[in-house]
Structure 1
């Protein structure tokens, strides 16, 4: 079955989506594009041999796509996704999917009304190393999880934030906690399961932003595991690191923006069985990336199942972000389920107040 796809927004990530869709062959067909700037839409359309449309409504009416990939700034995701759902299509939303828990809960209500799922792009879940690790954890081959770390240490200079929508709460919803480290700690959650409480700090150290440029959190999980989650855009030696210490082994991943099996390392605990053969089993070497996630998405849809990374998964990740900000800006320990309707950090990742004076740019 060939599914039709459209793209909204033509920034750099849109070309990543288009290339990944092209790699899926006749399983998908790209049928249209929309951008606020007609000249950008025309250029993208020419590159990919598809028609450009003046707005999303015109695209939805003319093309009736099965899936619509939202590659726009985060502040626009909610209204666009709601429009896509009302048209009977499936929104495939780049991270972060929304600006707040309240927005995501609104999206879930629309999902329930329309019977169409909302898909968030969390492509790091789909590399074969992560798939293999989750399988080993599920069958208890590594023992209990004890300690973990998810560190996204990146560098973005001042010029990066000269783009008008970057570094602003009202457009991005947050800094590296929201828009950069989200991939690493989403993968962390996919391995360790439900988190239970968070203690965090956030700071604006150097960048000309309204948001934080650094955050650090200690996260407890229902399993008893404890993890550190660090997010930064001020780190000259860039790296993305995940480490899991289980009873029987340490499993580590270090990469930058994507990984293959070569980026993983497994160290057996003293006296524990050699895990080389166990780790070598499972899926073949599939790099993390959009192609891997879109393949898994199509497999699920073709099989009549729910897409991987469903709205319940995504809500857990967005709730962790809200909890990190709530703890950082109030000094309190924040527990899972605490940030519900009426809570200051449900509607706004700042809790309704600027954590520090706004910077003029």
Structure 2
């Protein structure tokens, strides 16, 4: 086996199966999944049989004793923190689904652990990838787009009682949040990825669609560090599922394809201010090379990072920006005040955004 092929263990066979199908199978020249870990033996064996994977574990601790190089964590949110720390301490590289952890305090502890660790950590934000978003990113980074004015981000999805029948969903102790944490976090990450960090947020959260503990509707008005403004809206009660992003710059307006679960894949509408701007865009994109969407490209770029051929494509700093938005939303909605970012350790929700009555349960 070439030393460029990295061995992987996927922990959690729910979304983990998507990592296999979209991330590792198309990158078979870069990775070999040698083990799966899941608490449910029936699900574990079904996925392992499907992909011909020999290593099968129901104990995370036993998995860490093996010589596998990468631990890909696809478990429910409440166990991410402990598993990341343990995997880094075991000398592994780590891939982890969102949300990375359950508070900014935990996030900063992860950053400290990274600095001492042998391995690299990559949070998952697969919606960043595909031809559509890559072209927009290139135009913005080139300076052609000009000054950012405003952005709108809409995560309009549908989740019913059947979805929340899964025991860990919809509860503060296990999901750690609602539409902000599990769904809209992707689209909010894209806003900061393309337009830069948020400096102020006034938001509201509500539970209006489902009989759950956590929120399923949100809305916010934001100021970005650049001075641009942004509005963020999400619900799990939309009768048509779409993810829609529109960005207005001085020279170009961009609008995403409305595909709910891959807004980066198909080409975005690119509306230039003039024929001259269109000519600049055409010249910039004339030798465009196709960028596969979602996990395929994120995993390929992580491999490049492991081989010293580029940076880690998504970092713990990216995850911190995403979780700052979550923290700010909850605090702003609770206090009816604007929250300024970045959020420091003296903030009331730095250690936890979980409501006080659920914190003891969430900590167990």
TM-score (norm: length of structure 1): 0.92
Tell me if 1:59 matches 2:63. Answer: yes
Q: Which moved more, 1:341-350 or 1:121-130?
A: 341-350
2:201 maps to 198
Mapped to 2, the partners of 1:300 and 1:117 lie a distance apart of 9
* Displacement of 1:206: 2.3
* Displacement of 1:281: 3.6
SS in 2 for 1:274: helix
Tell me if 1:168 matches 2:166. Answer: no
Task: Pick the aligned partner of 1:187 from 179, 185, 190.
Answer: 190
Contact kept, 8 Å, 1:261 with 1:285, in 2: the verdict is no
Mapped to 1, the partners of 2:355 and 2:346 lie a distance apart of 11
Mapped to 1, the partners of 2:115 and 2:136 lie a distance apart of 32
Contact kept, 8 Å, 1:6 with 1:65, in 2: the verdict is yes
1:327 maps to 332
Tell me if 1:209 matches 2:232. Answer: no
* Displacement of 1:280: 4.1
1:240 maps to 243
User: What stretches of structure 1 of length at least 5 have no aligned partner?
Assistant: 355-361
Q: How does 1:1-361 map to 2 (within 5 A)?
A: 1-11=4-14, 13-19=15-21, 20-50=23-53, 51-62=55-66, 64-253=67-256, 254-259=258-263, 262-269=266-273, 273-274=277-278, 277-278=282-283, 280-281=285-286, 283-303=288-308, 305-337=310-342, 339-350=343-354, 352=356
- Write out per-residue CA displacement over residues 153-194 of structure 1, whole angstroms, 9 at most, x where no aligned residue: 000011111111111111111111111011111011111112
* Displacement of 1:201: 0.6
User: What stretches of structure 2 of length at least 5 have no aligned partner?
Assistant: 359-364
Moved over 6 A (4+): none
- Write out per-residue CA displacement over residues 228-272 of structure 1, whole angstroms, 9 at most, x where no aligned residue: 111211111110001100101210002211146544101123676
* Displacement of 1:279: 6.7
* Displacement of 1:350: 3.5
* Displacement of 1:316: 1.1
SS in 2 for 1:319: helix
SS in 2 for 1:80: helix
* Displacement of 1:223: 0.7
* Displacement of 1:116: 2.7
* Displacement of 1:273: 3.2
**Aligned residues: CA RMSD:** 1.9
Q: Which moved more, 1:245-254 or 1:39-48?
A: 39-48
Aligned residues: 351
SS in 2 for 1:209: coil
TM-score (norm: length of structure 2): 0.91
- Write out per-residue CA displacement over residues 35-56 of structure 1, whole angstroms, 9 at most, x where no aligned residue: 1122222222211212202312
* Displacement of 1:342: 4.2
SS in 2 for 1:200: strand
1:357 maps to none
